[in-house]
Amino acid sequence: MKEKYKKSLYIPNELLLEIFADKNLDIQNIIVVSMVCKLWYELSLDNAVWRPLFIKRFSYSPTLANHSIFKEDYQKQLALTQAMKKKCESNHACRNEPGLLEAIREKNIPLIYALFESGHRIIIDSFPDGEQQFTEEMLGFLSECAELPSSLLARIFKRGFCTADMETSEFLALHFIVAEADEKLLQKIFRALGDDLLSVSRYCDLYDNNFFSSLLHFPVERFSLVLRLLYETLGKTKLSTLLVYQNHTYTDWSCIHSASRCGREYFFITLKYLKRQDYPVLLKKGLNDEDIPLFNIAYWGDKESLSHIINILGADATTFLKYKDNKGRNILLPALLSEDHSTVELIEKVMGMEFIDLLLMQDTNGRDILRRVMLLQEPTVLRRINTVLKLLRDYDCLDIAQELYSSDEFTQLISQNLYINQDETIELFNKYTEEKTNNFCSIL
């Protein structure tokens, strides 16, 4: 008869703890585990098992609150939270007590969590009315808040304040510190928030502006400082994500769009923190069809930003500059409208003979660059026409001008534009078309 051997498998306690501490296990799973045997029961009480359960349920780490036995503290936090919710459920007035403010100052983290969960907010009216006194006290309070777990700090910075009658306050802590805090305090709070900055920064005021929009109202030096501190906190990848994130509730424009409308200094500072793979945002429309960052920087004559983009894109720069929007418009018209003609020269230099494609490109109405310039309703239109004719001559494309000049459309375009002097325009076209004819005769 064959002997049968009873085999047993030994699993080290350390490995069992790793299994029990799996983030996918919930309370019910741990209860089942604890009922298997005495050893498993003892292991199921370990802090390593209850720490992930605590974080999963209450969003902050118990180690930050000096907890010793996490299971007991889990039970206490749960009981406190449920009791506070029950108390406030039928008593709206209890949320209007200064308990949260006091709990924050005392660093009573379990109570802070329970108060937030039961609908409490920090009453903005608890702070002094005077502007200077309010600023000093609020900065001191937010500095204290920076010592809280990041998840609780984020709740304060999102919608943590209310008025005395429990109405949502227009006060946003992040907007406030960006305006008032010194570099040291900004750095302290940014580091305390960490990755939560990404979500906190997206909260908007009553006018639908987030903190980035507010930041653009500050001097360039302040704007540059805040972006640098954000970069030091988040790193370039996450900061770039923030810059391309939708910045407004009702449109699809981003922080990059906002900066591109503020002029070259703000945009160039922002652009330095944009990752190459996020560059397609420069081709997306914002407030309207003309609000495309690439076109905006051409219009501003922002040669520094355009050079930066070209250098980063390398061999792909030409394709990028040939971008055409859904109405067939390209970068050339805003570049021509710029007071700095060197922008056009830079585009020419980068594109080489492919610059001809921009000259010949038609919009959805079949209009090339010459026709579009002639439709410009502005006093400088004749100067713009002269520039386009010169470019057409330089690239041997004056056939476009000759064709238009000899058509009825030429007369229509002149009559539709109050800023065009008919005699001067005809003289200008004669100059370039005759020049082409003379050149042709010389060749013959």
Q: What angle do CA 243, 249, 254 make, to 5 degrees?
A: 20
pLDDT in tens, 37-83: 777 677 767 777 777 767 666 656 565 555 567 776 776 767 666 66
- In a shared domain, residues 427 and 402: yes
- In a shared domain, residues 278 and 312: yes
- In a shared domain, residues 371 and 359: no
- pTM to 2 decimal places: 0.71
Residue 293 forms part of a structural domain: yes
Query: Of all helices (H) and strands (E), which one includes residue 390?
Result: helix 381-394
**Please, are residues 137 and 128 in contact by the beta-carbon 8 Å criterion?**
yes
Residue 210 forms part of a structural domain: no
Residue that finishes a domain, picked among 363, 383, 418: 363
**Please, are residues 278 and 244 in contact by the beta-carbon 8 Å criterion?**
yes
> Cα dist. 375→226, 366, 372, 414 in Å?
42, 13, 5, 8
> Max Cα separation, the chain?
120
From the number of C-beta atoms within 10 Å of its C-beta (0-12, 13-18, 19+), residue 143 rates as: middle
Structure tokens of 287? 């407030």
Residue 428 forms part of a structural domain: yes
The band of 1, judged by pLDDT with boundaries at 50, 70 and 90, is very low
- In a shared domain, residues 328 and 276: yes
Report pLDDT for 301: 82
Q: Does the structure show a pLDDT above 90 at 233?
A: yes
Q: What is the residue range of 312's domain?
A: 235-363
Q: Total structural domains in the chain?
A: 2
- In this prediction, residues 434-439 reach a mean pLDDT of 57
Report pLDDT for 66: 53
Residue that finishes a domain, picked among 303, 329, 363: 363
